[in-house]
Each structure stands twice: as C-alpha cells, then as structure tokens.
Structure 1
Amino acid sequence: MSTPVRGRPPRTGTSPAADRARARRARRVPGRVTRRTVVRRRVVALLVLLSIVGLVVGIFFTPLLGVDEVDVRGAKELTVEQVRAKAGVKQGSPIVRVDVHGIADRVRQLPRVESVEVARSLPGTIRLTIVERSPVAFVKANDGVHLVDATAEDYAIVAVPPIGLPELQLPVEAKPAVTSAVGILVQLPEELRAEVLTMSAQTGADVKLALSGGREVRWGDLDDTARKAAVLKVLLTREGTVFDVSSPELPTVS
C-alpha cells in the first residue's frame, strides 16, 4: 500500500499548464472579441472593399461592359447608318457612362426624326427606337418638293410629290400660312380631307381649299375648324362651286 508524498497535491491526470489554460478560458467574458477575430474581420472587410472598387472601376472605366452594338429600330426613309452616325456612340465606351440624353438630342437633329427613345441593354447594346415624320401635304419649290408633316414642319425634299396628298400652294417659308393650312387640314374629317386637292393662302387668315369636282371652299383662319367642317358637310349637298364657311354663322354657296 503506497503512501502519498507529504507536501505534494494529489495527481489529477492533467498538467499545471493545462489547468491554467482551462482557468483562463473559464475567466473569459462571454461575447468578448479576441485580437485574432478583429484582424480577421478587418481583412475580410478590406477584401470586400477592394472587390467592390475593382468592379466599379471595371464597369465605369474599362471596356468590361463596353458598347459593342448600336441597335436602330424604326428607320424607314432614313438608313441605319445615318442614324448611327448622328448618334455618335463610340464602340467600347463603358455602357453605364453613355449619355443617352445627348444621343437622343443628336438624333433629333435629323429632320426626318419626329421622336427617338434611347435605352441601354446590357451587357453591350445601345438601342435607338425612332419614329419618322409622316407627310400630310407638300409644297413645290425651285429646289424640289418639300414634305410637310402634321406639325407644319418642312422636313424633307423629294423629287416627286407623294400620291394622294394635297398641295400647299404657298411659299414654304410663309410659316403662319403653312401652320394655319396644315392645322385646318389635319382637323378635317377623313372623308372631307380626301377631297382636298390644293390649299392656298397669303396669310394665316385667308385659307382656301380646292376640292375635287372644281369646287372651292373659302375657309378663312384656323378658328372654329370643327364647326366649319360640320357646316361645310351640309353645304356640299347643295348645288354650287364656291362654298364660304369663313363665318360659320353665315355660310354661303354660289
């Protein structure tokens, strides 16, 4: 039978160093962050920040998401090349930095363009959707046939007048007369508009319409166009060659 050595603690199966480590762990405050944890978190945050910075630089300042195509839609009389040239989009430009408003402003400078929408389509396409002007009348001039749209805009010159459109027999530069004549024309009912062969005026207040069958309508100015059209529809059922609706309250037929 062995006898414990006097002055020594009984053996517990562990070393003093292990006991001290266990004591230190026991004394730790719950939730306390160690230095190693702080360093690790800072490294992770730095890596995330560097990744974000790299991504931003790649997108905004490199061809990573560069323009590789300008897609033009809606061009009829204009060519795709004409629209692209006017848009002035550089291949490889970072798509997120492309000035879509500036592109739209430049494309609108093309006389045939009535409206344009510009959109980005990732990863590398700029899409231009244009609406071209449509003629409602024409003016013959020394340099050719001028096409005029519903806003009275003189937007193109062609060699041959379009079939089925009335002729404005007035100087294309006479803007008040052109505006008044076109404003009257676009408000006419379809069946009456189809009868109009020519329109003439010296000012915006003395517009005359030449209809098929040798009939003439003295319209006057743009005011009360809808009412004048309703009165004229009734007058045209009567015999006559000159129909005056310039004063719709007192129309005449002769």
Structure 2
Amino acid sequence: MSTPTARRRPASAPRRRPSGRGGPARRTPSRRTVLRRRLVAVLVLLVVTAVVCAVWFTPLLGVREVEVRGTGKLTADEVRTAAAVEQGSPLVRLDTDGIAARVRELPRVAGVRVERALPGTVRLTVDERTPVAVLNLPDGAHLVDATGKDYAVQPLPPEGLPELKAEPGGRASAVRVLTGLPEELRREVLVVSATTDADVKLTLTAGREVRWGSSADTPRKAAVVQVLMTRDGTVFDVSSPELPTVS
C-alpha cells in the first residue's frame, strides 16, 4: 500500500516586531518640517495682524462718502454737517450712536438710522417730523408734530392744518385728541384748544364745536360724536361719553 502524500503547510507570514507600546511605529517629523510649520504659523499671524491694523488704524477701509436718505425739508448737507463724520475715519471704529445723537439734535429730525456700507460709505436714513397742527405766534407759524413738539417756524401756516390754541399744560392732551380722530372728522377740525389736559375743545367747520374733555377714551368719544353730529345742533359734548349732549 502506498502511503498518502504529506500535505505541505503554507508558509506563515513573517511576524512583525511589536513597536513601542503595541501600536504602529510613528515617524518623528524632520527638523525641516517643524521649521516650515512654524514659519507658516508666523506668516499667518503677521498677515492677520496686518489686516486688523489696516482696518482699525488706517484709511484703507475709511469713510469716503456720507450718504443721506429720507430728507424732505432738510438738505443732505445740513444732515452731514450735524453728523460730523470725519473723512478717512476707519469705518469699523465709527461711533454710530454718537452720530445718530448729533443728527437728532436737528429740530426737524424725529429719528435716524446709521449704517456702514463697505468699502467706505456711511448711510444716514432720516425720519423727518410731520406737522399735525400749527401755533400762530407773533414770530410766525410754529409747526407742531404728533408728540406736541414745536420744531420749526415759517412765515405762513401750511394749508390744511388746524390751529393749535393750547396752554403748555394742555398742549400734549390736545395733540393726542387731534391725532386720535378718524380722518374724516380730523379734516373738519379748524381749531383745537385746551387750557388744561381735561378741557380739550374742537372747533369744526360750519360753526360747530365739540367739547371733548380729556384725551381719555378718545376712540369711544370719536364714535359717539359722529353719531351725535347726525342730529341738529352746534355744540356736541362728549366729555362724558356715557352721557353725551347736543345743544
């Protein structure tokens, strides 16, 4: 009998020497590589520092133009003069709150928005006051806005505005009543008067008068007086809207 041929075992893969603490061997960066990395880091730092210095301390991104929007009676130059923005000032260092405060000192300005626009523009958007009544005084027609502020004087009163005849203690209440009226009723007001904040009166077209009282409940009083005015009479009292009268 023939004996079975012995099977050959496959050659085993060469064993790797363990390195360090059981992990693969790590190559230590060469001195040249370390120096190159350090040089790159230093260059990046220098570039960042140069950019920051250029932006913060040089006219590179400085103010080149002051753009003014929203003016009506005011001119753009009047707003620029009040803003006092120095040409070439670094844009990122501008005191926008200070600029806005200086522009708001103009009597006609109710509000202003200050914006930066790269590369070198400061944009000022102005909200001018709108007159709702006029005070006729010896030096001219004083325009009064919805806050009761007397902000401008001109030789003649503008058309379509009611006259305000109010003592200082009643002016704010009189203006609140006037601005709280429905448009169709406000167009009929010729004069709004008050000596205190509780005795506002409206003189209307066709010789009619409305005794309003205080500015409290103005929407309700407006609704009541519009119903009363459908009746015959010249004096309409809604100072107490629960008990209105016509005479």
Q: TM-score range by the shorter chain?
A: 0.7 to 0.9
CA–CA distance in structure 2, aligned partners of residues 53 and 217 of structure 1: 71
Residue 231 (1) aligns with residue 227 (2): no
Question: For residue 193 of structure 1, what is the aligned residue in structure 2?
Answer: 186
User: Which residue of 202, 210, 233 maps to 1:209?
Assistant: 202
SS of aligned partner of 2:195: coil
Deviations 1:4-32 (A, max 9, x none): xxxxxxxxxxxxxxxxxxxxxxxxx5331
Runs of 4+ in 1 over 6 A off after TM superposition: none
- Match for residue 50 of structure 2 among 42, 47, 54: 54
Matches within 5 A, 1:104-253: 104-171=100-167, 174=168, 176-253=169-246
User: In structure 1, what is the Cα distance between the partners aligned to 2:95 and 2:41?
Assistant: 34
Q: TM-score, normalised by structure 1?
A: 0.86
More helix by share: 1
TM-score with structure 2 length normalisation? 0.88
Structure 2 runs not aligned, ≥5 long: 1-24
Which blocks of at least 5 consecutive residues in structure 1 are unaligned?
A: 1-28
Q: Deviations over 1:58-83 (max 9, x none)?
A: 11101111100000000110110110
Q: Which amino acid is the alignment partner of residue 54 of structure 1? A: A
Deviation for aligned residue 1:170: 2.4
Residue type at the aligned position of 2:78: Q
Secondary structure class of the residue paired with 1:237: coil
| Distance in 2 separating the partners of 1:201 and 1:181 | 6
Q: How many residues align?
A: 223
- Distance in 2, Cα, partners of 1:223 & 1:61: 56
Instruction: Give the Cα separation in 2 of the matches to 1:120 and 1:217.
Output: 50
Q: Cα RMSD over matched residues?
A: 1.0
Percent of paired sites with the same residue? 61
Letter matched to residue 241 of structure 1: T
Mapped partners of 1:151, 1:184: distance in 2? 11
Q: How does 1:21-100 map to 2 (within 5 A)?
A: 30-100=26-96
**Are the equivalent residues in 1 in contact too, given 2:166–2:174 (CA < 8 A)?**
no
